[in-house]
A and B are shown apart, each in its own frame.
Chain A
Amino acid sequence: MAIFKKVVMMGSFAVGKTSLVRRFVEDAFDDKYLSTMGVKVSRKPLTIDGTALTLMLWDISGREGFEGLRPSYLKGASGAILVGDTTRPRTFGTIDEEVGSLVQAVGAVPRIMCANKSDLAPAIDTGAIVEQAARLDARWFATSARTGDGVEEAFATLGRALLAK
């Protein structure tokens, strides 16, 4: 039987949640910023160590303006991808709050952290990211939705963690 897992993309607005999903699912990228309103679900079938797994990727609007709606979007999530924008250090602060809502909604599910836009000059120290990822119990990846760097690896790592659970 096919295994479906719901994975939520979390993070502040414009960090690249939609772009990461688009890169992973369609292998495409768009420079234009079109903020996601509400939630958009994409499927991505994977085979991990011989097991078929379909990720249901929930691309949710950045929390700004949608705080109250989050619990209903998070329900039933098996895992989360926490996204921060390395050119905007503030967006990593948001991730702590995101993990708070996640744990409150579905408990301590597997999660990874993407330090996204690695193709651009960073405005945050790697040390700070390493420390935060450890504190949030998440493996972290430097990703670029633009070039695709690190994207497959990040999603696959979460997929593997979801199967192991």
Chain B
Amino acid sequence: MSREPTGDGIGFDGLFDELCTRRGIGCALTDAALVVQAIGGARHVWGTLSAGDPLTDALPELLGAEQAIEEAVAGGEPYVLPWLNRTGPSGGQRFYELSVHVKSDDPTVRVHWLVDVTGAGRLKSELNQERNELSLTRDALALRNADLQLFLRAAGHDLKSPLRTLEGFLGLIAAESDSPLVDASRSLAVQLAELVEVLLDYARLGSTAIESQPVSLSAAAQNAVDRLALSIAERGAQIELPPSLPTVLGDRTLVGQVVYNLLDNALKYCPADRAPIVRLSAEPRIGRTALIVEDNGRGIPVESRQRIFEPLVRLGSAASGHGFGLATVRRCVELMGGRVTVSESAALGGARFEVELPV
């Protein structure tokens, strides 16, 4: 391999060659036909190339780039190819950046610089790989989630329609029979249908995109009170709402479900020996607002305070609970980037739920 200066003698003297090599820069002089006139530096780049060879032997990237190079050397945009990816002699990847200039005192001589950017290239490469793999996992999860939603919709339909028929049949039988078993069966069928509904609602949470926007907690609370008006009247419950509650950042429907389920829960699980009292308030937190819902019920024993947010968990023997209320609360809150905890209410003696949401 000849690395001696040839041609017009731009001077790849020892020092220059040394510099090129040490700094990982390779340089080749070529004529317009891309035939090598002189070459220096970065031996690992040029391999066995010597004067008289076509430069494209070492840099196939230049094939097809003739016009772009013409333009660059005619004073147009410089021709730069970043991140040329090569397998090095030892099998590892090396990266180079190619740029093309024209010799200032002789425009027929093209200078091709190749800078070794392997260090930066390997870093970028690792980052790239990680980001892409993460993306692939996310895509795969989204696809699986979509499959699950399809399954749920189908299963929901398949479960609900026979239940409805069953209810209907039991109704017909009830008209002709006065056995208490028929009524009991009917109410079980109704309960089962409700459970299927609640289960599907729970499973569907988070399957649609969440739109974060300012949501008024006052409005959500008032709405929940209106929806629960019947239970409130039946139990003679007292709901204490402050004149105003702050606004949080979240999804209107999800916030509505959180407040509704917490109120509903407090009413449902309040022992029959007392009229339920439920108090709503809010406290500021760093970057968040905590909505606090306290009641005068039995409270949640310390050992159950984690478990209580799991689906199908009911404490005690509450009449009408499905076991999805608090699970729904947690799911909604987490979907909005918040968190929910439970402790004991010092003021009312029952449970104290604290829902932190972004503001």
* Interface residues, chain A, with chain B CB atoms under 8 Å away: 4-6, 13-14, 33-41, 43, 56, 61-62, 64-65, 69, 72-73, 75-78, 88, 90, 123
- Which of chain B's residues have a CB closer than 8 A to the CB of A88? 139, 143
Q: Are B68 and A75 in contact (CB under 8 A)?
A: yes
Contacts A37-B93, A38-B84, A72-B80; A56 near B133 (Cβ below 8 A): no
- Which of chain B's residues have a CB closer than 8 A to the CB of A36? 85
A-B contact sample (5 more), CB < 8 A, given A13-B132, A36-B85, A69-B83:
A61-B128, A65-B127, A73-B81, A75-B67, A75-B68
For residues 5 through 31 of chain B, which have their beta carbon under 8 Å from a beta carbon of chain A?
Answer: none
- Which of chain A's residues have a CB closer than 8 A to the CB of B60? 41, 43, 56
Within 8 Å by CB of A90, from B66, B131, B139, lies: B139
Q: Are A72 and B85 in contact (CB under 8 A)?
A: no
- Which of chain B's residues have a CB closer than 8 A to the CB of A65? 127-128, 131
Q: Give the distance in Å from the alpha carbon of A38 to the alpha carbon of B80 in the complex.
A: 13
Main secondary structure of the interface of A (DSSP, over half): loop
Within 8 Å by CB of A37, from B61, B80, B95, B143, lies: B95
Q: Are A13 and B135 in contact (CB under 8 A)?
A: yes
Q: Give the distance in Å from the alpha carbon of A6 to the alpha carbon of B66 in the complex.
A: 11
Question: Does B65 have its Cβ within 8 Å of any Cβ on chain A?
Answer: yes
List 25 A-B residue pairs with CB atoms under 8 Å apart, sorted by A's residue number: A6-B64, A13-B128, A13-B132, A13-B135, A33-B136, A35-B125, A36-B85, A37-B83, A37-B85, A38-B82, A38-B121, A39-B61, A39-B84, A41-B61, A61-B128, A64-B131, A64-B132, A65-B128, A72-B79, A72-B80, A72-B82, A75-B67, A76-B64, A76-B68, A123-B143
Q: Are A37 and B121 in contact (CB under 8 A)?
A: yes
Within 8 Å by CB of A14, from B82, B83, B85, B132, lies: B132
Question: Does B129 have its Cβ within 8 Å of any Cβ on chain A?
Answer: yes
Q: Give the distance in Å from the alpha carbon of A13 to the alpha carbon of B64 in the complex.
A: 25
Contacts A13-B135, A33-B133, A62-B132; A72 near B95 (Cβ below 8 A): no
Question: Does B124 have its Cβ within 8 Å of any Cβ on chain A?
Answer: yes
Q: How large is the interface on B (under 10, 10 to 19, 20 to 34, 35 or more residues)?
A: 20 to 34
- Which of chain B's residues have a CB closer than 8 A to the CB of A40? 85-86
Q: Give the distance in Å from the alpha carbon of A4 to the alpha carbon of B83 in the complex.
A: 22
Question: Does B63 have its Cβ within 8 Å of any Cβ on chain A?
Answer: yes
Q: Are B129 and A38 in contact (CB under 8 A)?
A: no
Main secondary structure of the interface of B (DSSP, over half): helix
Q: Give the distance in Å from the alpha carbon of A56 to the alpha carbon of B66 in the complex.
A: 13
Against A, the Cβ 8 Å flags (1 = close, 0 = not) of B60-78 are 1101111110000000000
- Which of chain A's residues have a CB closer than 8 A to the CB of B121? 37-38
For residues 104 through 162 of chain B, which have their beta carbon under 8 Å from a beta carbon of chain A?
Answer: 121, 124-125, 127-129, 131-133, 135-136, 139, 143
Contacts A56-B63, A76-B64, A76-B65; A35 near B128 (Cβ below 8 A): yes
Contacts A41-B60, A76-B68, A90-B139; A34 near B82 (Cβ below 8 A): no
Q: Give the distance in Å from the alpha carbon of A5 to the alpha carbon of B60 in the complex.
A: 11
- Which of chain B's residues have a CB closer than 8 A to the CB of A73? 81
Most buried by A among B64, B81, B85, B124: B64
- Which of chain B's residues have a CB closer than 8 A to the CB of A5? 64
Contacts A13-B135, A35-B129, A37-B95; A4 near B63 (Cβ below 8 A): yes
Q: Are A69 and B82 in contact (CB under 8 A)?
A: yes
Closest to A40 in B: B85
Q: Give the distance in Å from the alpha carbon of A65 to the alpha carbon of B68 in the complex.
A: 24
- Which of chain A's residues have a CB closer than 8 A to the CB of B133? 33
Q: Are B124 and A37 in contact (CB under 8 A)?
A: yes
Q: Are B64 and A38 in contact (CB under 8 A)?
A: no
- Which of chain A's residues have a CB closer than 8 A to the CB of B125? 35, 37
